[in-house]
Structure 1
């Protein structure tokens, strides 16, 4: 799980309104602006505080995930007139990044990095004048250099429809109060974790299977009430499962592909299972991660990993 630097560089004057990215704390808002660049095409700008959350002088890949995630509601509300209060539901998400460009350097004149997201909106589905599904494709750059690509598909649900679908589980405060207490954190999932809050896995009797730890006091993933486990937390659990499966060396998630098939509920245990897959054409390790809750498979992911050192050269 990434953490931002709660310093003076992130303020309401330098970010988009926090409501547009579904955040309560302005310190967690990474996006600084947006503008149209063509038909259903937009440029979104962001700033990354110069933190070293992933260890070894690298930006945490989850910072990229959160930057892209914040652009979903921003563009939905600002560009497609989706009213505040509507729910954005992930269907799938993927990214691939250039690991060399995660290296943090620290010029004396600034303590942040400029990030740019060029976004193409595709396969837009509307009911009347209202957008109800959307695919976003991204080219992400850092200081003008190509950093990553990403793609997501999500649906948009009006509050009344969402309440009907979720029934008694639509009450976020009630669901958070019923959340399963997090078990003891494992040390192999996030060796660089600042606190136990940042560890998303608890041990089970199976070395390839863990219980998802959901700490509803986490300042990033639960800065406002939600009625189910946030998708970004599930992605981080997948990244941590890849690390826990190969604990002998630190690994870096350089690519992920994730399909969300059902909500992961707060009030039921969720198991995270990992297995090695054949290496990709570039010879990189691939880990398959599946999340199970009861009889359901809630999410399936493929995590591509590399060892940060010495495979990632300095710039």
Structure 2
């Protein structure tokens, strides 16, 4: 296939509509993607619009929440899988690793919706039985032609029968998800003070305090309208990323509201289950170079197994 430059695609290609079901979001208002177009072999342009305000991913210090970019990228995974690689609806898409970085100075919020463009290259594509099994996405993100960020992620795709085998005794049939999934351990546990994790509302806090100031229990509230837009049988990736973000704020202490995450380097090792406590631990790391940004290393441990890890790099909100 002849490759077409991204710039040419953006100017001349007719963007195609994004079916809501291709984003794996039940609430139409939470769909951020607005269009997509092929940009060459295994290349795709995706457009998105961030709302002026958001009930969960609110602007901080006059800049958009960097987690909006994470959610935009997460929605792009099912879109590309279904639209470009013929993955049937009902297949399970599972994160393996996800790294993204935002240009903090380009994240300003001006009180209007913000249009974003994702230039996506797909590589390391694995197929089994004629179906997509896994692929890696490298992404350049722009706003009005300005560099906004980059991302690199890999995910796997599993047919329902394979997913059922992977989950074993933990598997819950889709028809039973609304009622049969166990109430998560810690769902009604107390939350850390919202200000400690740079949150305004206690309902948006996903960490419950423990005896240690650098350790918390993951709080899983399945009634949360954003983190649990639809029923699932394990803790979703965006919940774990939010826990990493909140832990990175929490270890800053009184400085919690003076820093903003600008880079996430995350790996997903195991499913985080609902019926067993999941412990989140954070450790501040020194800046890698003089004048560089410090990082926070976050791990999620369940049943003595590391389920998730994330290094969160933070920058001053005044940067």
Partner of 1:173: 178
Partner of 2:226: 220
Can you give the 5+ residue segments of structure 1 that lack an aligned partner in the other structure? 1-13
Q: What secondary structure does 2:93 align onto?
A: strand
CA contact (8 A) 2:136 2:154 kept: yes
RMSD: 1.6
TM-score (norm 1): 0.89
Q: Deviations over 1:31-72 (max 9, x none)?
A: 011111011000000000122714222111110100000000
CA contact (8 A) 1:259 1:301 kept: yes
Q: What secondary structure does 1:38 align onto?
A: coil
Alignment of 1:71-220 (within 5 A): 71-106=76-111, 111-171=112-172, 172-173=177-178, 176-180=181-185, 181-187=187-193, 188-193=195-200, 195-220=201-226
Cα 1:70–1:166 shift into 2, 3 Å = same
Is 2:240 aligned against 1:234? yes
Can you give the 5+ residue segments of structure 2 that lack an aligned partner in the other structure? 1-15
Partner of 1:279: 287
Following the alignment from structure 1 to structure 2, what is the Cα–Cα distance between the partners of residues 177 and 128? Answer: 34
Q: What secondary structure does 1:173 align onto?
A: helix
Partner of 2:12: none
Partner of 1:10: none
TM-score (norm 2): 0.88
The total of aligned residue pairs comes to 292
Superposed displacement of residue 27, structure 1: 0.5
CA contact (8 A) 2:25 2:229 kept: yes
Q: What secondary structure does 2:181 align onto?
A: helix
CA contact (8 A) 1:175 1:227 kept: no
After superposing on structure 2, the runs of 4+ consecutive aligned residues of structure 1 that deviate more than 6 Å are: none
Following the alignment from structure 2 to structure 1, what is the Cα–Cα distance between the partners of residues 153 and 169? Answer: 28
Q: Deviations over 1:228-272 (max 9, x none)?
A: 000011011001101000122222110010011101111111110
CA contact (8 A) 1:285 1:305 kept: yes
